[in-house]
Chain A
């Protein structure tokens, strides 16, 4: 599983980096990103969901399963 530390990275750069990491994965593969609480923890999962990926949140860790 790929992981990415995006703490200290604000929107939309955090989603840019997560998205590029997702491009390197196959369908069903997961990417776990760490983001700051607050705005990034709200907007990054929403962006991933809007693109059809499965998203689970555990604390400050967002796991995105590529569709």
Chain B
């Protein structure tokens, strides 16, 4: 696989990075990513994956764009209100980088479709906004042996971790107890500042690019906690949990492709 002249020009500013290489760029071009949720985290995450040249990007989101989304979801503009997020994101990203194959999945991720959607991907970037979906994405990614970047953002604080199933702690290893289903959250839990979500989603893209290319050291067995109020960051170590229902039986995934 060779890169065209226009691809070389498009990616020139990352190709000149000492850490990067033509081989890294070709790995990205061959790679397939699934972004679950194209909202506050998924907008920046999918944007940077598409811009960097990830060959195929699947975008899973069943929601329509709402006015109250726009302050934090920079792939969606005011005229897009009412439209499907997955389709809208695919259109915007195809304008950004027509070299990338975009596959919108305007569906809700369920236990029945999660496995087939993530199977065959090289990385899953979980930009969902509920604990139930997060555990579902974790379990499906572990079962299919697909690398995963997990994150969450609330108010001014965020959290990111990367997972190589069978090799490093999964989300369920780190957070074995699921919050009770149907517990009523307070309205404050809907609060988030767009710029903070942008930082966390951008870190997710960075992690996914590292997992796909082998460049740098992803947040494996480490959870990054970031406080936007003072920009202090903490890294908490995690480890695989024996008997983890999601990942204990998973054979170690390949280091990279």
Binding site for B on A (CB under 8 A): 11-12, 14-16, 39, 42-44, 46-47, 50-51
5 CB contacts below 8 A, A to B, read: A12-B188, A39-B184, A44-B187, A46-B186, A50-B186
State which size class the interface on B falls in: under 10
Any A CB within 8 A of the CB of B17: no
Residues of chain A within 8 A of B188, CB atoms compared: 12, 15, 47, 50-51
A62 to chain B, nearest CB (A): 12
Bound CA–CA A16/B188 (angstroms): 9
Binding site for A on B (CB under 8 A): 184-188, 190-191
Residues of chain B within 8 A of A11, CB atoms compared: 187, 190
Instruction: Report how many A-B pairs have Cβ atoms within 8 Å.
Output: 26
Given contacts A15-B187, A39-B184, 6 further A-B pairs with CB under 8 A are A14-B187, A15-B188, A16-B187, A42-B184, A44-B187, A46-B186
User: Helix, strand, loop or mixed for chain A's interface?
Assistant: helix
Residues of chain B within 8 A of A42, CB atoms compared: 184
Bound CA–CA A43/B185 (angstroms): 6
Residues of chain B within 8 A of A15, CB atoms compared: 186-188
Q: Which residue of B lies closest to A44 (CB)?
A: B187
CB pair A47–B184 under 8 Å, yes or no, is no
A14 to chain B, nearest CB (A): 7
Residues of chain A within 8 A of B187, CB atoms compared: 11-12, 14-16, 43-44, 47
Task: Kindly list the 5 A-B residue pairs having the minimum CB-CB distance in the complex, ordered from nearest.
Answer: A15-B187, A12-B187, A12-B190, A46-B186, A47-B186
Bound CA–CA A22/B200 (angstroms): 31
Q: Which residue of B lies closest to A38 (CB)?
A: B184
Residues of chain B within 8 A of A50, CB atoms compared: 186, 188
Most buried by A among B184, B185, B186, B190: B186
Bound CA–CA A11/B185 (angstroms): 10
Residues of chain B within 8 A of A14, CB atoms compared: 187
Bound CA–CA A43/B184 (angstroms): 7
B104 to chain A, nearest CB (A): 28
